[in-house]
Amino acid sequence: MNYQAFFKKQLADLKDEGNYRVFIDLQRKRGQFPEAVWTSDKSHSDVAIWCSNDYLGMGQHPKVLAAMHDAIDRCGAGAGGTRNISGTTHDHVVLEQELADLHGKEAALVFTSGYVSNWAALGTLASRIPDCIVFSDSLNHASMIEGIRQSRAEKVIWKHNDLEDLEAKLKAADPDKPKLIAFESVYSMDGDIAPIKEICDLADEYGAMTYLDEVHAVGMYGPRGGGIAEREGLMDRLTVIEGTLGKAIGVVGGYIAASAELCDFVRSFASGFIFTTALPPAIAAAATASIRHLKQSSVEREAHQATVETVRRRLDVHGIPHVQNPSHIIPVMVGNPAKCKFLSDTLLTEFGIYIQPINYPTVPKGTERLRITPSPVHTAGDIDRLVCALHALWSDCQLARMPMAAE
Ligand SMILES: *Cc1c(COP(=O)(O)O)cnc(C)c1O
């Protein structure tokens, strides 16, 4: 086989479809996020980032940076081993206690990323529990899908956020078999929110465990930033709450929070937890500082929601079509991969605004979009420049508008 020709052809097909991914080379500026320097073809220019998952700007919070510096000075760079072989530092232990407390659970277990936590925890639970059937929401994240697939357990996909479909499928399953319902709270592409309470009610009725991915809600919802389940007083009804330290927490890493037995079980059997180097202690210390801050400060959450409302209102005034949803994610619908890429390229090169186009396979074909994620550190001036740029592009490209709202 001509391997190089094969790779080339596959990539050419992606490019023809408009689905080839181009990375934007950025240098974030500490203390000035969302401003960053974009490097392209040997030139450098300033851009404002409008698509980061550092939702609250905690990636540059002084307390987080101080904790990280301090840990490097105390402990050095790496953890020096897997968790089992010398890599469990005191910073990891403290972080896991902080996470268990955040979600009102007995224990928590930290992984190298949110992706790995879903893949390893779901993979381990579903493969080790004999005859387990996994009921997976149809829009679950790739990391959950891969974990379930890897477990080789029986999988039943239910229609996204559809309680009737979930119940019908639970009812049709063998009542004696163990069951696990896997879903998310905030779905990151449409920004809609799962009916968590009703799903827990069904789980109770049919004897199922529940596994909730709160990746897009941790730090951002609930009085202490415990997520949507905290806001709705439901944390104790979930078997497993999974989250990331890489989005609103502003660092990197992932975790599950659950009963002491369940965490110990995953700790003891999950290959993706056991056979990999632990996160650097500085990462654990920074994440702990970020979580502790967000537990006692709602300033960031409130400012964040206010920015989201302002951006939405300003888009409405110009009739820029965006999906209404109860979360902080603003999907501006374009519905065509080439146009979506063109809009994103033009925003970057002409307006100094960076919004990554979201195309297939991240979202279904025909629903290509610009996914805007405001933060509390975007200023009124940043918002002005964003909305004016979109307004100009919508006119230039003769894109469809919604009926315009009053100023
Ligand atoms: C980003 C994401 C993850 C993975 O988290 P990382 O820490 O980035 O690996 C898991 N689930 C969902 C829903 C996500 O959007």
Per-residue pLDDT tens digits for 159-188: 999 999 999 999 999 999 999 999 999 999
171 is catalytic: no
Q: Report yes or no on whether pTM surpasses 0.85.
A: yes
Taking residues 101-120, report their average pLDDT: 98
Q: What percent of the chain has pLDDT over 70?
A: 100
- Nearest alpha carbon, ligand 1 atom 7: 114
Dist. CA 147 → ligand 1 center (Å): 13
Q: Which pairing describes strands 208-213 and 179-184: parallel, antiparallel, or unpaired?
A: parallel
Dist. CA 310 → ligand 1 center (Å): 27
Task: Name 329's Cβ contacts closer than 8 Å, sequence gap at least 6.
Answer: 186, 188, 189, 190, 191, 216, 371, 372, 373
Substitution site in 215, 371, 373 for ligand 1 pocket (most atoms within 8 Å of beta carbon): 215
Q: Considering 105, 179, 247, 341, which one is annotated as catalytic?
A: 247
d(CA 158, CA 148) in angstroms, rounded, equals 14
Contact 27, 37 (CB under 8 A): yes
List for the chain the helix, strand, coil content (%; round to 5). Answer: 45, 15, 40
Chain segment 323-359, per-residue pLDDT in tens: 999 999 999 999 888 899 999 999 999 999 999 999 8
Dist. CA 248 → ligand 1 center (Å): 11
Q: Token digits for 173?
A: 């399953």
Substitution site in 137, 247, 251, 327 for ligand 1 pocket (most atoms within 8 Å of beta carbon): 247
The residue written with tokens 């104790």 in the block is: 236
Chain segment 305-316, per-residue pLDDT in tens: 999 999 999 999
- Please name the residue ranges forming H helices in 249-378: 260-269, 271-274, 281-296, 299-317, 337-351
Band the pLDDT of 212: cuts 50, 70, 90. Answer: very high
